[in-house]
Amino acid sequence: MNIIKELENLNCGKVIKNCNLKEYTTYQMDGNAAAIIFPSSIQDLKTILRFLKEKKQKYKVIGNGSNLIFDAYYEGILIKLEKLNHLNIENEKVVVEAGYSIMKLALKVSRMGLSGLEFATGIPGTVGGAVFMNAGAYKSDMGYIVKSVTVLTPELEIKELSNKEMEFHYRTSFLQTHPDYICLEAKIELIHGDREEIMDLIKERKKRRLETQPLEYPSAGSVFRNPEGDFAGRLVELIGYKGKKIGGAEVSKKHANFIINKGSATGKDIKILIEEIRKKVKEQTGIELKVEQEFVE
């Protein structure tokens, strides 16, 4: 593929050809992508995007791959932002780049006695992914703590969006409705709290997660958003799909709103299982389940 050679010649980050998707998704699904590149800076990212746009080449910017479901082969270029990971903490103000682990950040600030990110200590994504999804748990989410987000626009201009402009709502944000915008950095504001109380809360929640979630298997966390006043897991159990298996993908017996990879799951297996669940829940209850995860074509 000549375009990959040209991409390498840009010298804008390491390029891996025919990369294994198992290594770049939390589902660890079988499959490959044409190539993956790791930009070292925002300038590198802009150069890569300009090149791919000029070539009309399909691409996808990814964080930790914690909400992505790929087909067996992705013919485009993956751009992984893990090297955009600068962090600055001053008092209760945090400025962090998109590639930084949200779980690592949550644990770091919590150990410093800063409160507000406790909910994220079990979320296996990056800051960029968490902002994109408006990730949350325990009745809190990124929208409560993010003051502004620096983005790269489709025209490759750098722009700062306020919390209001980010349009944070339950598991969604401006970035989901404008996918050509890329999160580069988030400004977060926390509050000072009691370090011991914060760490005790995190410890207690971790214990509960281990007891109730199938963390011993690859997954992408909750598959469906909870409908208002109800729980997606309850609805999946109601249609008799707890433990249902297609290929290597299985609805967890521990938590019915998780699909786990039992060892050889493909994106197709996971997608078929999700679509079957949505169809049967709709038929039996009239409720349209919304998928939290993204199917990448």
- Containing H/E element for 21? none
Query: Measuring CA to CA, which residue among 254, 258, 212, 230 is closest to residue 67?
Result: 258
Q: Is 237 helix (H, G, I), strand (E, B) or coil?
A: helix
Q: What are the residues whose beta carbons fall under 8 Å from the beta carbon of 262, sequence distance 6 or more?
A: 217, 245, 248, 249, 250
Farthest CA pair distance, the chain: 56
Percentages helix, strand, coil for the chain (3-state, rounded to 5) are 35, 30, 35
Q: Catalytic residues, which ones?
A: 171, 222, 292
Query: Measuring CA to CA, which residue among 264, 258, 248 is closest to residue 292?
Result: 258
Bridge partners, 39 (sequence order): 13
User: What radius of gyration do the chain's Cα atoms show?
Assistant: 19
Q: What are phi and psi of 242, to 5 degrees?
A: -65, 120
Give burial (CB, 10 Å; 0-12/13-18/19+) of 30. buried
Buried b (16+ CB within 10 A) or exposed e, 219-246: bbbbbbebbeeeebbebbbebebbebeb
